[in-house]
Amino acid sequence: MSSDQQDFRARGRRVLEIEAAAVLSLAPRLDASFDKACQLCLDCRGRVVVTGMGKSGHIAGKVAATLASTGTPAFFVHPGEASHGDLGMITAMDLLIGISNSGETDELITILPLLKRLGIPLIMLTGNPRSTLGEAASVTLDIGVREEACPLNLAPTASTTAALAMGDALAVALLESRGFTREDFALAHPGGTLGRRLLLRVDDLMHTGDGIPQVTPATPLAQGLVEMTRKGLGMTAVVDPAGRLAGIFTDGDLRRVLDRGIDVHRTPMGDVMTAHCKTIAPGVLAAEAVHLLELHKINALLVVDEARKVVGALNIHDLLRAGVM
């Protein structure tokens, strides 16, 4: 390993150590001010508006996004644009979270009179609680760091990491206080994997009506194979005259039948079907269907109602296409 490579790693480790120490130093500072900040957010009847300039602005955008996705309606406002019309986005029912390491950011100080006029609470995340913004805030959370990870002690590094961590602490504390659930999270993330797993139900994915492969117990096996091929699900339901499930016949069953040398033209489906097959209800989460397939090492499921009537069918490919597995 060259000396340059060793230097790269040493510098990288130094950055991580400084930023880790900055985050750890925040925990002992969580006091009644943090409690008050959380309560102000819970009491807010409007939206939590998060703002900051420069690197703090980038952190503010992420904090707003985290709050919004965990049950606290929030959005980011650029403080520079705020004094040029975007203040109209803020109402008297809102709350403002400002992020400024120095506590002297001009663009944030400029909007203080409006906040006072509207009576909007201000929560400041700052490294200088005795600054203009720190003193003007309803609640000030100290996110000061001993040093930046930048060797010049100039580029915002440890300070922005600390601000981000404090924002996460607020968001998660509020999430737990609101009783925010996995299902609530999924509603805010319908396009994500978790959202699909927690929102999609079997009846959202199953084949219905003419798309269900089904035959009667008296149907010759040859005709049953035609039905399986036509519907393309790798199986067929075997139902009685009332549409109630009698059994299932799958591709795997076919291989076993052929090994036994059974006459496909003379053998009825009732003689070769699996009578006690795994089924699922239509309103069950699709993730449960995945669990059943994996648990029993099968590729398809029939969907039945309370009267055991077949109302749908789905296979592993339907679940894969839906992104549930």
pLDDT value at residue 259: 85
Judged by phi (left if over 0) then psi (alpha if -120 to 50, else beta), residue 178 lies in: alpha
**CA-to-CA distance for 265 and 237, rounded, in angstroms?**
18
Lay out the sheet containing 245-250: strands in order across: 214-215, 235-239, 245-250
SS percent in the chain: helix, strand, coil, step 5 = 50, 20, 35
Q: Is the pLDDT of residue 184 over 70?
A: no
**CA-to-CA distance for 122 and 136, rounded, in angstroms?**
8
**CA-to-CA distance for 34 and 314, rounded, in angstroms?**
50
Does the pTM exceed 0.85? no
**CA-to-CA distance for 30 and 169, rounded, in angstroms?**
10
Listed residue (189, 196, 245) closest to 216, CA to CA = 245
Q: What are phi and psi of 220, to 5 degrees?
A: -60, 145
Encode pLDDT of 214-269 as tens digits. Answer: 999 999 999 999 999 999 999 999 999 999 999 999 998 999 888 888 888 999 99
pLDDT value at residue 179: 84
* Residue 75 banded pLDDT, cuts 50, 70, 90: very high
Q: Output the average pLDDT for the chain.
A: 90
pLDDT value at residue 99: 97
For 3-180, CATH number? 3.40.50.10490
* Residue 322 banded pLDDT, cuts 50, 70, 90: confident
Q: Is the pLDDT of residue 323 over 90?
A: no
Fold of 202-321: CBS-domain (3.10.580)
Encode pLDDT of 106-161 as tens digits. Answer: 999 999 998 888 999 999 999 999 999 999 999 999 999 999 998 888 789 999 99
- Domain segments of the chain as ranges: 3-180, 202-321
Residue, of 84 and 227, whose pLDDT is higher: 227
316-320: average pLDDT: 90
